[in-house]
Amino acid sequence: MTHTIRVKKLRANAVLPTYGSADAAGADLYACLDGDVVIGKGESAFIPTGLSMEIPKGYAGLIYARSGLACKRGLAPANKVGVVDSDYRGEFMVVLHNHGSEPQTVTHGERIAQLVVTPVLTPLFTECDDLTETVRSDGGFGSTGSK
């Protein structure tokens, strides 16, 4: 299913999101920089994309790490997954954190994250005295794995 996302370039040298393959779930987001940004070991830096977007009502934009950037260079979003609400109209920024042991340099036009646009439910929450029973019940972390 195809939707259209309206994108506003905030800077002339910004790059629109692109998909790496026909069936890619995430669209690559690109750094829009005037100069290189060096992220030291254990540090984070705001990386602008130079874009703002209209995520459709009833959807959210989820910003995830690019697996190659995370595995090869230790760079991933500092908040693990960024959530962009449909009513946000500001610049898409990615806060990259350097998990590696060496400083990393981010350059203009580099793919820095991926954006997945997904439907969102906004249920009402109601207090109750008890919940329906399940086989799992209150088994938490690791409770469904093999021994």
* Average pLDDT of the residues in 38-65: 97
pLDDT of residue 143: 67
What percentage of the chain reaches a pLDDT higher than 70? 95
> What is the residue-wise DSSP string for 11-65?
STT----EESSTT-SSEEEE---SS-EEE-TT-EEEEE-SEEEEPPTTEEEEEE-
Contact 48, 54 (CB under 8 A): no
Contacts of 21 (CB under 8 A, 6+ apart): none
Confidence of residue 141 (pLDDT cuts 50, 70, 90): confident
CA-wise closest residue to 46 among 70, 82, 74, 19: 82
Q: What is the pTM of this model?
A: 0.89
**Average pLDDT of the segment spanning 62-67:** 96
Q: Which structural domains are found in the chain, ordered by start? A: 6-119 (2.70.40.10)
Calculate mean pLDDT across residues 25-43: 98
